[in-house]
Amino acid sequence: MSKLKIYNTLTNQKEEFKPIDPNHIKMYVCGPTVYDYAHVGNARPVVVFDTLYRLLKHDYGNVTYARNITDIDDKIIDASRETGKPISEITEKFTRIYEEDMAALNAYLPDIRPKATEYIPEMIKLISDLIDKGHAYEADGHVLFQVSTMNDYGELSGKTVADLIAGARVDVAGYKREAPDFVLWKPSTGDQPGWDSPWGFGRPGWHTECSAMIRGELGKTIDIHGGGQDLIFPHHENEIAQSKCSHDGAKLANYWMHNGYLTVNGEKMSKSLGNFITVHQLLEEFPGKGEAIRLALLSSHYRQPADFSRDAIKQAQKQLDRWYRFTVRAEASEPSVAVLEALRDDLNTPKAIMELNQLAKDENKKGELLASANLLGILNSDNWFIAGVSEELDIDSLITERAEAKASKDFARADEIRNELAEQGITLLDGPNGTTWEKK
RNA sequence: GGCGCGGUGGCGGAAUGGCUACGCAGCGGAUUGCAAAUCCGUCUAUACCGGUUCGAUUCCGGUCCGCGCCUCCA
């Protein structure tokens, strides 16, 4: 069996994956802050790491995959203030929508989905430990992590404390000892939500929750930690700092994987630029075709920037149309070695797709094609060609009528029926054994 | 200013020190009442300038262009 290789952000090179325990792989991916719909850029890590999860399950069997839900954050507080709705209503609604939308992209639900608000005691413990060990200090109601107390801060992002101090371009808050120090706990005032703590009523900083949840659910050191490249600094760097310093130097994760951005006209898709489209909208535009969105996301390598376009989704849809037609009535067997090797090579999904195309040329490899496609989370649909068809449309009787018209050489009527159906998005396929149809 | 990433055909997108995958689109053909689907065939690319080499898209240096991160911000 070929060995899994992973590009590790810690070392900036592709490395052979060596699990801590081959009988139990542990991975963690940063999840959403639930205050709004997820956009396609947010869906990229979900699809990428879901594919990795599928591969790991295939290769190792027992995998625990955790993805957090950030349900306490200033953006959520703002959303609550703006809409007048309670925080819990907002976070529950968008957690549900997030999971539905990601399911439509054929992403498995992670094994563990910890919520930040359920980990407040663990976070308080973590912060207390950091204070006790001399890595954090209390100032003006805040608790801050003192970056200069850690000698290898910056190992993930390649930044140095000196550079960060020199390059600070934002006004440094007065309560900080040094510019790079970051918040572990901050005070809540007025109607802001909060919890009692040794440092007063307040709430956790952004980075603290992931460290606490990983410690609580998976242990001190995990195999793989994933997320978008924009999380490398400061979020993941600070997670490492917190966890390492509270665990006397134990590594938080052996492999750090980061997916590239989804771009629009070359610029990062983001909420603040306003150039985003939500997964929810896309699923309305392409009803029943979540797999096409998924395949479009997987058609470029996960570390490369990928430009979003509806055209890419349409192209993926055509590819899936072809594979679905080819594999009708076939049963999945075992995945092909070529596809497995491509995926084991740092998740080279474009190459895997090429191999799927090779399989789709061989009548005897339909089962392999289905099993291999399943590793990428595609070709799973039972109703690919019929999703979204109005039930009031009696297609079968129209096909019968058209067959009769054709038999009596009334091609005008036959074409009329075909055109009517085409307006409903139904394409008729005349084969040697009669006529079938597909919804586009 | 600091750190990092990228530039492959009309489009998407891999790989490689020696004929540049695969898909989409296009073109020609088979098939079809006409289409669709399918099948066969086919055109188009390694940003620029040097260097190393028998040979560079690939390795090295430089130029140009695009993008990202640089702390409570996503």
Residue matched to tokens 């359920």? A118
Separation of alpha carbons A294 and A184, rounded Å:
36
Separation of alpha carbons A367 and A373, rounded Å:
10
Separation of alpha carbons A28 and A223, rounded Å:
9
Instruction: For nucleotide B22, give the residue with the nearest CA to its C1'.
Output: A354
ipTM of the complex as predicted: 0.92
Q: Does domain A5-262 have CATH number 3.40.50.620?
A: yes
Contact assessment for residue A7 and residue A48, using Cβ atoms and an 8 Å cutoff? no
**Which nucleotide is the nearest neighbour of A405, by CA and C1'?**
B33
Pair of tokens at residue A315: 């192209």
Chain centre distance of CA A271: 17
**Which nucleotide is the nearest neighbour of A342, by CA and C1'?**
B14
Between the CA of A436 and the C1' of B53, what is the distance in angstroms? 60
Between the CA of A321 and the C1' of B33, what is the distance in angstroms? 26
Between the CA of A365 and the C1' of B37, what is the distance in angstroms? 20
Cα–Cα distances (Å) from A67 to A20, A122, A286, A361, A393, in that order, read 20, 17, 27, 38, 42
Contact assessment for residue A45 and residue A236, using Cβ atoms and an 8 Å cutoff? no
pLDDT digits (tens, 9 = 90+) for A320-376: 999 999 998 899 999 999 999 999 999 999 999 999 999 999 999 999 999 999 999
pTM: 0.94
State the average pLDDT over residues A73-85. Answer: 91
Q: Does domain A310-375 have CATH number 1.20.120.640?
A: yes
Domain boundaries of chain A, sorted by first residue: 5-262, 310-375, 395-439
State the average pLDDT over residues A252-272. Answer: 89
- Residues with Cβ within 8 Å of A19's Cβ and at least 6 positions away in sequence, in order, are A25, A60, A223
**Which nucleotide is the nearest neighbour of A355, by CA and C1'?**
B22
Does A234 sit behind a cis peptide bond, omega within 30 degrees of 0 on the bond before it?
A: yes
Does residue A438 sit in helix, strand or coil?
strand
Q: Give long-range contacts, CB 8 A cutoff, 24+ apart: A393-396.
A: A393/A421, A393/A424, A393/A426, A395/A421, A395/A426, A395/A437
pLDDT digits (tens, 9 = 90+) for A5-62: 999 998 888 899 999 999 999 999 999 999 999 999 999 999 999 999 999 999 999 9
Burial class (CB in 10 A: 0-12, 13-18, 19+), A111: middle
State the average pLDDT over residues A121-125. Answer: 94
Instruction: Name the pLDDT band for A206 (thresholds 50, 70, 90).
Output: confident
